[in-house]
Amino acid sequence: MAVAFSNLNSDSGLKKLDEYLLTRSYITGYQASKDDITVYSFLAKLPSPAYVNASRWYKHIDALLRIPGVSGEGAGVTVEGSASITEAVATPPAADNKAPAAEEEDDDDVDLFGEETEEEKKAAEERAAALKASGKKKESGKSSVLMDVKPWDDETDMKKLEEAVRGVQMEGLTWGAAKLVPVGYGIKKLQIMLTIVDDLVSVDDLIENYLTVEPINEYVQSCDIVAFNKI
């Protein structure tokens, strides 16, 4: 049975989520699934420690998405009445605003996004293989994708960046919920959901030929696939 939540960024919405997770580890089922990603994407930031269960669940899903480690299909979840990105901008944790003086002096030399680790390269290769495999199926399916869109610096207009990203329209592509996630040194990245029809849209093509070329590359430095799940 599908699960429904509403106004997740309000006290009442967080209280309901916290009570729901009191006896559950995940939104549906016994493993992390696309239902967890859906609810996660609607939360503007880490829930307050007062919401013990919701906070614990959020940290767990956030960690899995970095691996990535979410593969379950889920049973279906609906989120209503959640704020748009302009109303639900994540607030950087205090640690980001109190960087050591030595680090502040070397801001120009810090590569916040860095080079890919071996684990990240392996994960990227696995995602690419999954994308190619999906194209071999006789019947067209759909996939849910969670993507990180990274700006050039802290002076990038994130509202215009999101507008530019959503401005990319093609058959089989549907943009979903989005939020800003702190990276550090005042920089935020756009984390956005999208749904694609596998036979019509290639995520690699979307990134390489639409999201990182002129004129969008005025705002976008790079894009990364955080999670890729079949629907």
Q: Give helix then strand counts, H and E, for the chain.
A: 8, 6
Share of the chain above pLDDT 70, in %: 68
C-alpha–C-alpha distance, residues 57 and 8, integer Å: 14
What is the model's pLDDT at position 23? 86
pLDDT mean over 9-22? 92
pLDDT mean over 215-231? 90
Preceding peptide of 68 cis, ω within 30°: yes
pLDDT digits over 140-156, tens only? Answer: 688 889 999 999 999 99
What is the model's pLDDT at position 149? 94
Q: Please spell the DSSP secondary structure of 96-152, one letter per residue.
A: HHS--HHHHHTGGG--SS-PPPHHHHHHHHHHHHHHHHHTT-SS--EEEEEEEEEES
- The domain ranges of the chain are 11-66, 142-230
What is the model's pLDDT at position 89? 36
What is the model's pLDDT at position 67? 66
**Of 93, 120, 116, which is closest to residue 183 (Cα–Cα)?**
93
Whether residue 111 is predicted with pLDDT greater than 70 in this model: the reply is no
Q: Which residue has the higher pLDDT, 149 or 138?
A: 149
Which CATH fold would you assign to the domain 142-230?
A: Alpha-Beta Plaits (3.30.70)
Q: Which two tokens stand for residue 50?
A: 């007062």
CA atoms within 13 A on the CB side of 92: 15
